[in-house]
Chain A
Amino acid sequence: MPHDHHDHLSPAGHPYRADDDTPLSYWQTMEIAVRELLVEKNVTTPEEISAQIDKMDARSPAIGSAVVARAWVDPEFKQRLLKDGSAASLEMGFDVGPMHLIAVENTEDTHNIVVCTLCSCYPRNLLGLPPDWYKSRAYRSRTVKEPRKVLSEFGVTLGENVAVRVHDSTADMRYVVVPVRPQNTEGLSEAELASLVTRDSMIGTGVARDPSA
């Protein structure tokens, strides 16, 4: 028997996570009710719902990284990507769905960063689920007003002569940033280049990894 005063700690000495025994919220109850009704009325099945969740979970920033790496090695592809992000992604077999993708390119004098102040619009088909901070009120409200301060907290410090271009994803467009290709990467393969493209570099809160670092 464990000592009473240790009951709240695991054998490794860490606290146990509290059980999730709080009452359901209004919207959680609504979700369960609608889901059960849809199943009862044979509109969908639990298997279909699970399959859809699996499909969402299988998406990751690796898809976006592959698109960016292609843009780095193929200037014509990059032009098509900047002109019509959805069509160019589809060329590579990535369907961005009903939303339209706009790709924006970082250059020596412009740094792009993406936010959705009204909700949490995010290019999920290209980057998977958004990080929690992307949906936070702090990120959403501060990025349009003090993007340089937000960037510095992510470890990105921009010179005075670099313009920040903030994209507020307010409607039907989704955005992906094409980060600057790191120096001294001429000898790398497309797959090796893709490994340098981080999720944050495609949101604009980061830059591509430096392979020599």
Chain B
Amino acid sequence: MGKQALGNDPFAAGATVRIRHLMPPGHVRAPAYIRGKRGTVERVIAPFKNPEQLAYGLPATEQMLYRIRFSATELWGDLAENPRDFIEAEVYAHWIEPQDHSHAT
């Protein structure tokens, strides 16, 4: 419970991260279109109780909530309407992993 349960080291604003590429069943708050995608931390919001546990009436751990910014081309490739565009979503820490630039694909 509490801070100890945070799944990751905290990420700083501007850090490059990757959303975990998982497809678990049930109530999940990371939209599928960002999973496996790279983005940057737009801002660090605050810790919130994990809604994926709250939804089932389970004791919920606190997870840091981040706003992650993705470029339209990262999400949609050639189908992106304009390479200038970007999409920002709120993502909980347990969905985020650090992105090593050297392994970027």
Contacts and interface: CB of A to CB of B under 8 A. Distances in A.
Interface of A: 100, 117-118, 144-149, 160-173
Given A171-B51, A172-B48, A173-B45, A164 B82 contact: yes
26 contacts: A100-B46, A117-B33, A118-B29, A118-B31, A146-B81, A147-B85, A148-B81, A148-B85, A149-B81, A160-B84, A161-B84, A163-B86, A164-B72, A166-B86, A166-B87, A168-B90, A170-B30, A170-B91, A171-B51, A171-B65, A171-B90, A172-B45, A172-B48, A172-B90, A173-B65, A173-B90
Nearest to A102: B67
Interface of A is mostly: mixed
Interface of B: 29-31, 33, 45-46, 48, 51, 65, 67, 72, 75-76, 79, 81-82, 84-92
A147 B85 CA distance: 9
Given A145-B76, A146-B81, A148-B82, A168 B45 contact: no
Contacts of A164: 72, 81-82, 84-86
Given A100-B45, A172-B48, A173-B45, A167 B86 contact: no
A171 B85 contact: no
Contact of B92 (A147, A169, A171): A171
Given A171-B48, A171-B65, A144 B86 contact: no
A100 B90 CA distance: 12
Contacts of A171: 29, 48, 51, 65, 90-92
B90 A169 contact: yes
A109 B46 CA distance: 29
